Amino acid sequence: MYRLALVLPALFLLAIPVLTQQQSPGTAAQKPSPYAAIPVEASKQQNPVKPSPESTARAKRWWSLDCEMCHGKNGDGKGETAKEMKLTMMDFTNPDTLKDRTDGDVFYIIKNGHNDMPAEGPRVKTEEAWDLVNYVRAFAKKKDADTKTQ
């Protein structure tokens, strides 16, 4: 009986944090980030490939073969396959689309896929995937430059 008198208060103290974290009825549950599955070490990876005409040429080849059908020729998310399948695609021409994403995040998504996007995996060499990261980032920069020249 004496042990029970000591154990019950301890259990109560341990249960308080759990009980206070539960949401009250009527509050919306927070959705986990769609990028929560990206490992921290992958997110921290730095892009070793500097943008260059050669890098752009390699990326453009892959883009036209594998990415354009959904993401669109200009990266606006209006590719023919995406339209046909009624997929909502990100608009890479919008600078806000990837502002919170690291190059490591984008690389990870290219190599491993995300939601409806299939993984490129080993089909795309590591350097070519980094080329694609640069290429995707360039869509927003190009739109921004076009806006400034008008």
pTM score: 0.72
- Distance, in Å, from the CA atom of 35 to the CA atom of 115, rounded to the nearest integer, reads 10
pLDDT in tens, the chain (150 residues): 545 444 444 444 444 443 344 444 444 444 445 556 899 999 999 999 999 999 999 999 999 999 999 999 999 999 999 999 999 999 999 999 999 999 999 999 999 999 889 999 999 999 999 999 999 999 998 755 555 555
- Distance, in Å, from the CA atom of 139 to the CA atom of 128, rounded to the nearest integer, reads 17
Domain boundaries of the chain, sorted by first residue:
40-149
Residue with tokens 């990415």: 67
For residue 106, the model assigns a pLDDT of: 97
Alpha carbon distances (Å) from 56 to 28, 45, 94: 44, 20, 19
Kindly report the backbone phi and psi dihedral angles of residue 3, in degrees, each rounded to the nearest multiple of 5, phi listed first. -65, -40
CA nearest neighbour of 108 among 85, 84, 124, 87: 124
The answer as to CATH 1.10.760.10 being correct for domain 40-149 is yes
> Which residues are paired to 112 by β-bridges?
none
